[in-house]
Structures are given as C-alpha cells and as structure tokens.
C-alpha cells in the first residue's frame, strides 16, 4: 500500500525557516514526479513545487521561487521541502503528493500544518 | 502562468440532479487537464485526467469533456456522497495551477 507521511510543520516567526519531510512507503519516489501542494485554512489548493523522476529538474510556483527548495533522499525514500524567509501568507496545510505516470496527482499525504505568525 | 477559472463558485442542487462544472484556461492546455474532488477533512481525489479519462475506481456518472481552453465536468445524477468541492488542474506547462474550486452543495 502506498503511503506518504509528512512531518516538520509547526509555528514559525515571519522570516524564519522550516524543513518539511515526507516519508514514502509502498513505492520508490525516484520513479515518479513528486510534488508539494498547499492549502491555506478554508481556501483552495495551491501547487507549490515539483521534482521530476530523474531529479534533474525542479519547479516552483512564483509565490515561493527563491525561498523554497524541493529535494529528495533516494536511499531513504524521503521528499523534502526547505522553506526559508517564511511569510504569513505561507500559512497552510502542506501536502506531499505522488505524481502519476502522466504527471497528475494520485496519492496524497495527510499534510503537515505550517503557521507563520509572530 | 496559466490561470484556471472555475464557474460557478457554488452549485446548489439536489440528489439525482445533473451537475455541470466549468473550467476555463487563460491559454490552451490542450487536453492536459484533470479534475479532483475534495470532501471536508479529506485529501483530494483524482476523478478525471487528460480531460476525459476516468481515474481508477471512479463511477461512470462522472465524465469530463473539452480541450484547449474550455472544459466541463459532468455528474450525471448526484449521489449524496458527491457533495464536495471540485478543482480543475492543468499539467500543460510549469508552473502547474489549480482552479479556485466549485462547491457542489445541497
């Protein structure tokens, strides 16, 4: 059974940093595109970042470009999101998502909550 | 970036009725569009991919159509479990984007 388990969320002050982790089981993350998608409280879905199977390319939403970095540890099957210079508008539930073979989203973790507030 | 605009924002219907949801792209996404369903407290579920293909396990009452910039998700006869928020999403280019969602309510 495929599972994604996020961790690393919490309360952080504006300008601070957090590193989110997503431990995958039941599949190998390097065989698929992997994503981070966030959802602010009571709001819609926002695509944040992606890493393609080869790991050669990463992509970011304009709202996080230059502040967030996606990466992965293939040996431990873990996806990461390093978030720097956090802002109040980054407050959201962050989902780790597995891509399908055609780059849609099929498996979602339960999310980890990031709150940026002083 | 490609902007996806969904309409209406809210659709008030009764069980058994037909639901028609729209998603319009600011530029062509070919057929690279998906629909997701999200119920309160749950993660999104992939319903339709590549505009018209049902994902595994999705009932036949869900269908998708369209190409280019105009897309439609149709639920032929609403079941009680279909009342939820529906999002469209494209994979045509980077960055990926979602529509703002359509809430289907009773």
CB A108 within 8 A of CB A79: no
pLDDT 10s digits, B46-72: 999 999 999 999 999 999 999 999 999
pLDDT confidence of residue A65: 97
B34/A contact by beta carbon, under 8 A: yes
pLDDT confidence of residue A101: 86
User: Does the pLDDT at position B73 exceed 90?
Assistant: yes
Q: Hey, of B95, B99, B101, B103, which one would you mutate to test binding to chain A, going by the most A CBs within 10 A of its CB?
A: B95
Q: Residue B86 forms beta bridges with which residues?
A: B37, B102
User: What SS3 class is residue A31?
Assistant: helix
Mean pLDDT of B86-102: 96
More confident residue, B2 or A55: B2
Nearest-Cα distance to chain A for B44, in Å, is: 7
pLDDT confidence of residue A52: 92
Per DSSP bridges, beta strands B102-105 and B10-12 are parallel
pLDDT 10s digits, A99-109: 998 899 999 99
| Separation between Cα atoms, residue A118 and residue B95, nearest integer Å | 30
B105 burial type by CB count under 10 A (0-12 exposed, 13-18 middle, 19+ buried): exposed
End-to-end, the C-alpha distance of chain A in Å comes to: 40
| Separation between Cα atoms, residue A71 and residue A49, nearest integer Å | 10
| Separation between Cα atoms, residue A50 and residue B45, nearest integer Å | 19
Rg of the Cα atoms in chain B: 13
In the block, residue with structure tokens 């994902």: B55
Q: Return the residue of B nearest to A33 by Cα.
A: B91
Counting residues of chain A whose pLDDT is more than 70, the rounded percentage is 100
A58/B contact by beta carbon, under 8 A: no
pLDDT 10s digits, B8-21: 999 999 999 999 99
| Separation between Cα atoms, residue B27 and residue B94, nearest integer Å | 13
């Amino acid at each position: 059974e495929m599972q994604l388990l996020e961790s690393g969320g919490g309360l952080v002050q504006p300008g601070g940093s957090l590193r989110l982790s997503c431990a995958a089981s039941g599949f190998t993350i390097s065989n698929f595109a992997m994503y981070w998608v966030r959802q602010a409280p009571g709001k819609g879905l926002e695509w944040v970042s992606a890493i393609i199977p080869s790991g050669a390319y990463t992509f970011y939403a304009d709202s996080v470009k230059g502040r967030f970095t996606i990466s992965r540890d293939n040996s431990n099957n873990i996806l990461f999101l390093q978030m720097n210079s956090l802002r109040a508008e980054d407050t959201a539930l962050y989902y780790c998502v597995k891509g399908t073979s055609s780059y849609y989203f099929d498996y979602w973790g339960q999310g980890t909550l990031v709150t940026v507030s002083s | 970036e490609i902007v996806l605009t969904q309409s209406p924002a809210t659709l008030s219907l009764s069980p058994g009725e037909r639901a028609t949801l729209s998603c319009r792209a600011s530029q062509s996404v070919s057929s690279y569009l998906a629909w997701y369903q999200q119920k309160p407290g749950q993660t999104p579920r992939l319903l339709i991919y590549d505009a018209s293909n049902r994902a595994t396990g999705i009932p036949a009452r869900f269908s998708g159509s369209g190409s280019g910039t105009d897309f439609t998700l149709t639920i032929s006869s609403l079941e009680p479990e279909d009342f939820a928020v529906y999002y469209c999403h494209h994979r045509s280019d980077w960055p990926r984007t979602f529509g703002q969602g359509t809430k289907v309510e009773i």
